């Protein structure tokens, strides 16, 4: 039972059933970081532009800065902390191998977005990858390392390189 002024909140977070009393005005990003100490999702722009706060809600990427906690009650939430098991997830390993980060602030959001994207489409074209990642901004890398990491992961898994597809590829080259 929730305390007065708070709401009962129950979700599966990274595979663990989690019950809390939360303010109706609490954002998901604040619940994750402040109440559950899951600091993988980052708060950066706070207005849905950068993707640093990206988490999976029932397997779909959402900006945790734009979603209220109460809207996620009863759903399955996965942060970057829940993506790997005992070892790094292969996408994380590819970022490490290819130097897909500098400060690393954008990396958790990139990883969870890519996980959802590649679960749905194991052999994406370059254009599909770029479209899938268009909500995740990086201020450090120039995207070269990130792109190499993604290509390496796709190639290792499917045996083929993501193919170029026109305008979107040209758009990424312009970053």
Residue ranges in contact with ligand FES by CB under 6 A: 43-46, 48-53, 63, 65, 101-106, 138-141
The residue among 9 and 101 lying less far from ligand FES, judged by its C-beta, is 101
Sign of CA dihedral 76, 104, 153, 168: positive
Q: How far apart are CA 44 and CA 156, in angstroms?
A: 32
Least Cα distance to 103 among 56, 49, 147, 145 occurs for 145
Q: How far apart are CA 15 and CA 148, in angstroms?
A: 30
- Give min distance, CB of 161 to ligand FES, in A: 23
The residue among 118 and 138 lying less far from ligand FES, judged by its C-beta, is 138
- Give min distance, CB of 33 to ligand FES, in A: 11
- Give min distance, CB of 31 to ligand FES, in A: 14
- Give min distance, CB of 19 to ligand FES, in A: 25
Residue with tokens 């600091």: 39
CA distance between the termini of the chain: 50
The residue among 48 and 90 lying less far from ligand FES, judged by its C-beta, is 48
The residue among 10 and 139 lying less far from ligand FES, judged by its C-beta, is 139
Q: How far apart are CA 98 and CA 106, in angstroms?
A: 16
């Amino acid at each position: 039972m929730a305390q007065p002024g708070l709401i009962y909140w129950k979700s599966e977070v990274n595979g663990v059933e989690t019950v809390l009393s939360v303010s109706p005005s609490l954002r998901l990003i604040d619940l994750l970081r402040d109440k559950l100490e899951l600091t993988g999702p980052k708060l950066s722009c706070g207005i849905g532009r950068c993707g640093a706060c990206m988490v999976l809600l029932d397997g779909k990427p959402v900006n945790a800065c734009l979603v209220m906690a109460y809207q996620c009650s009863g759903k399955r939430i996965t942060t970057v902390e829940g993506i790997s098991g005992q070892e790094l997830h292969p996408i994380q390993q590819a970022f490490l191998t290819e130097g897909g980060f500098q400060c690393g602030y954008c990396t958790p959001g990139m990883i969870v977005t890519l996980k959802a994207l590649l679960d749905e489409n194991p052999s994406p074209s370059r254009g599909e990858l770029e479209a899938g990642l268009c909500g995740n901004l990086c201020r450090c890398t120039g995207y070269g390392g990130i792109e190499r990491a993604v290509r390496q992961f796709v190639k290792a898994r499917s045996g083929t390189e993501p193919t170029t597809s026109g305008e979107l590829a040209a758009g990424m080259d312009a970053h």
